[in-house]
């Protein structure tokens, strides 16, 4: 009699879990609360779907911070080359772009979603949408199934349950933190959730004045209580409330934690990272000498985007109409310092609903990293963003979802040693060929 597996959530981790369990011979029911599966995957990477990254394993794991070690087993079993090969078999060719980021060659996240859905269906997975799971059915430390509210409540029995509900960001896609509630009801600890890869809010009107301005090839440094914590090179963008873009998103996890701890947070932007202080000073001297009759704000056009000029003039306190040959050494020093340290006080962050990823979740100390199995409840598994790990932007988070989903699906397809499957089903008079049961034994 085949193992019966229920997977909760039809995102990347859930689809991978369900398909893998079915390929191992399990009878698999995939339950999705929304009317369409994988909604968040559909919009990931601005619709292009940054699938993974070609960084070596140790470098890859470092992007997850301290919790990266938990993922070592999953990545050893199913990593970037495996995912790329798997997708190629499904007809999804990939390309590698700047920073090692891997995308579908079509640039269409929808192609990835369709390929995964067709693969799961061919593997034998039964997908049921509009089926929110209200509770896990646990008896004497083992999984017996789930209760679903679909018009009326129903109980579905199984030998194993994989919770792959995602986090709590982008709630319109269905990620509303359901997995945390389910895990907690089974006795699991939830590390407080908070936004990661989220835009930051800044003080004053500078961001609003610069709204829409994108800065490329700059270095953003995160300062906490005046001390540098991290830095990122790349692109950032100004919004009406503050700043966003790849560099800011990567730094945001540390910024959010520092803000929540009541610490002083700021961003220091190096607008000329290719020039050290000495070379930048020489550049400024050349410009001032060569165009000494031009007004200061005109000279800045060779150094800065147009939108940034008025902000620079205000912050370095040099009159906009001052001729270049009248700029003093002290004033030139202020300009040089500002170009290397354009400071933006950070006052907050955007809400969790606007975050790309949720930090926090099911405590990984209560999960077996070799199988993604709960250490508390036999037959219960977790995969993807519902777990307490999150990474920088660059494809790392999606790879973690696929890898943990792969591992959970493989493990869930095998009866647990304590055996809550065939014998229990016969004892309770269950029909082993159907998930749907009329009742649940007390």
Residue 24 phi, psi (nearest 5): -85, 0
Which element (helix H / strand E) includes 344?
Answer: strand 342-349
CA 44 to chain centre: 9
CB 297 within 8 A of CB 321: yes
Q: Quickly list H helices, 54-154.
A: 57-62, 72-77, 80-89, 109-123
Q: Over the stretch 406-433, which tens digit does the pLDDT of each residue have? A: 999 999 999 976 543 334 333 333 433 3
- For residue 230, the model assigns a pLDDT of 96
- For residue 172, the model assigns a pLDDT of 78
Q: Over the stretch 38-95, which tens digit does the pLDDT of each residue have? A: 998 988 888 899 999 999 999 999 999 988 999 999 999 999 999 999 999 999 999 9
- For residue 169, the model assigns a pLDDT of 85
- For residue 439, the model assigns a pLDDT of 31
CB 230 within 8 A of CB 392: no
Using a 10 angstrom Cβ sphere, with 0-12 exposed, 13-18 middle and 19 or more buried, the burial of residue 140 is: exposed
CB 324 within 8 A of CB 296: yes
- For residue 417, the model assigns a pLDDT of 66
Return the DSSP state at 323: B
CB 30 within 8 A of CB 126: yes
Q: What domains are there in the chain, each with its CATH number?
A: 4-193+357-437 (3.50.50.60), 199-349 (no CATH)
Ranges of the chain with pLDDT below 70: 417-442
- For residue 152, the model assigns a pLDDT of 75
CB 69 within 8 A of CB 166: no
Global pTM exceeds 0.85: yes
Using a 10 angstrom Cβ sphere, with 0-12 exposed, 13-18 middle and 19 or more buried, the burial of residue 72 is: middle
State how far the Cα of 14 lies from the Cα of 7, in Å rounded to an integer. Answer: 6
Nearest partner of 83 among 53, 113, 111, 58, judged by Cα: 53
- Residues β-bridged to residue 340: none
- For residue 296, the model assigns a pLDDT of 95
């Amino acid at each position: 009699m085949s193992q019966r597996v229920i997977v909760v959530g039809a995102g990347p981790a859930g689809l991978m879990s369900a398909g893998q369990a079915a390929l191992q011979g399990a009878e698999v029911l995939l339950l999705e609360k929304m009317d369409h599966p994988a909604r968040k995957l559909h919009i990931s990477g601005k619709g292009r779907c940054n699938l993974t990254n070609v960084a070596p394993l140790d470098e890859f794991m470092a992007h997850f911070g301290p919790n990266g070690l938990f993922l070592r087993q999953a990545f050893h079993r199913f990593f970037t080359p495996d995912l790329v090969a798997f997708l190629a078999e499904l007809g999804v060719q990939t390309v590698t772009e700047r920073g090692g980021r891997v995308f579908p060659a079509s640039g269409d996240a929808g192609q990835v979603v369709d390929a995964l859905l067709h693969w799961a269906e061919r593997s034998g997975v039964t997908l049921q949408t509009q089926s929110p799971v209200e509770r896990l059915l646990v008896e004497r430390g083992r999984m017996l199934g789930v209760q679903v509210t679909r018009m009326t409540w129903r109980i579905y029995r199984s030998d194993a349950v994989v919770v792959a509900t995602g986090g709590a960001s982008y709630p319109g896609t269905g990620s509303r933190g359901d997995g945390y509630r389910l895990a907690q009801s089974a006795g699991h600890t939830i590390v407080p959730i908070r936004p990661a890869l989220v835009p930051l809010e800044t003080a004053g009107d500078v961001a609003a004045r610069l709204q829409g301005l994108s800065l490329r090839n700059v270095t953003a440094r995160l300062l906490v209580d005046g001390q540098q914590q991290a830095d990122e090179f790349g692109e950032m963008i100004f919004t009406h409330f503050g700043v966003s873009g790849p560099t800011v998103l990567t730094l945001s996890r540390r910024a959010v934690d520092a803000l929540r701890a009541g610490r002083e947070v700021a961003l220091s932007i190096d607008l000329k990272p290719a020039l050290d202080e000495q070379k930048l000073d020489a550049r400024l001297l050349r410009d001032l000498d060569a165009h000494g009759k031009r007004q200061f704000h005109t000279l800045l056009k060779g150094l800065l985007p147009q939108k940034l000029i008025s902000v620079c003039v205000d912050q370095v306190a040099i009159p906009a109409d001052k001729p270049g040959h009248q700029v003093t050494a002290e004033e030139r020093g202020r300009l040089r310092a500002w170009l290397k340290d354009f400071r933006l006080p950070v006052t907050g962050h955007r809400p969790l609903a606007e975050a790309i990823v949720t930090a926090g979740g099911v405590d990984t100390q209560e999960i077996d990293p070799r199988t993604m199995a709960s250490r508390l409840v036999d037959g219960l598994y977790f995969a993807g963003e519902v777990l307490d790990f999150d990474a920088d932007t660059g494809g790392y988070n999606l790879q973690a979802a696929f890898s943990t989903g792969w591992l959970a699906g493989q493990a869930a397809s095998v009866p647990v040693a304590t055996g809550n499957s065939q014998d229990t089903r016969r004892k309770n008079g269950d029909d082993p060929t159907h998930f749907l049961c009329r009742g649940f034994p007390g």
